Amino acid sequence: AERPQFKKSRSRRVRASDTLRMSFREGIAAHKLRSFLTMMGIVFGIAAVIAMTAITEGGKQQQLDQIRQIGMNNIQVRDLGLEGARLLRVRRISPYGLSLSDMQEIDEHIQGVGAMTAWKEIKAEIRYQDQVVDDANTLGITGDFQSVVNFYVGNGRFLNGQDEKQFRRVCVLGTEVVRKLKLPAEPIGEVLIL
């Protein structure tokens, strides 16, 4: 059996430009409304993804800033804040609670501590001449308080080690206390009764 002979015809290749021209003419131009709606859907979809990514990144950045502000590697040791019979029971076991000697023990026995502070918070009455603030939050501090809690002073200076060693009668006032006591604009050197 003989194979049939076919004439070699010059086949024409389909080029990319032909495909684009056909798709534009048959698809996009023929169905303008459908093409417009599809395009708008793509635009809104991409915009929504970009917006959600920006919101997520912004929230993450805000959380990281807050963590940096309180210190990512801070460790706090606190008392239990007990009252009544439970406080009496615990005091029989350990009458001193947390003390400065605990801070010294940590400093001596734990390596890698960069900065350390201790503070005691109480409500106190503050007087300046005839002005009184009845229940000001008052902190007694020792150690590296300023660097540990990222505390910055607007005017004057913060307390230092010499203030503590020499038992100087100095304090740092918050703006709200200054306002309530009607202190001068530069209250450095004024006498307060705490």
Indicate the pLDDT class of residue 172, thresholds 50, 70 and 90: confident
Read off the pTM.
0.51
For residue 77, pLDDT beyond 70: yes
160 phi and psi angles, rounded to 5 deg: -130, 180
- d(CA 105, CA 143) in angstroms, rounded, equals 14
Question: Does 25 score more than 60 pLDDT?
Answer: yes
Structure tokens at 183: 């202190």
Query: Rounded distance, CA 119 to CA 138, Å?
Result: 10
Band of pLDDT at residue 50, cut at 50, 70 and 90? very high
104 burial type by CB count under 10 A (0-12 exposed, 13-18 middle, 19+ buried): exposed
pLDDT at 57 > cutoff 70? yes
Q: pLDDT at residue 59 above 80?
A: yes
Whether 84 has a pLDDT exceeding 60, the answer reads: yes
99, pLDDT greater than 80? no
In terms of Cβ atoms closer than 10 Å to its own Cβ (0-12, 13-18, 19+), residue 175 is exposed
Mean pLDDT across the chain, nearest whole number? 81
Between CA 169 and CA 167 the distance in angstroms is 6
Question: In which band, very low, low, confident or very high, does the pLDDT at 8 lie, cut at 50, 70 and 90?
Answer: low
Whether residue 10 has pLDDT greater than 60: no
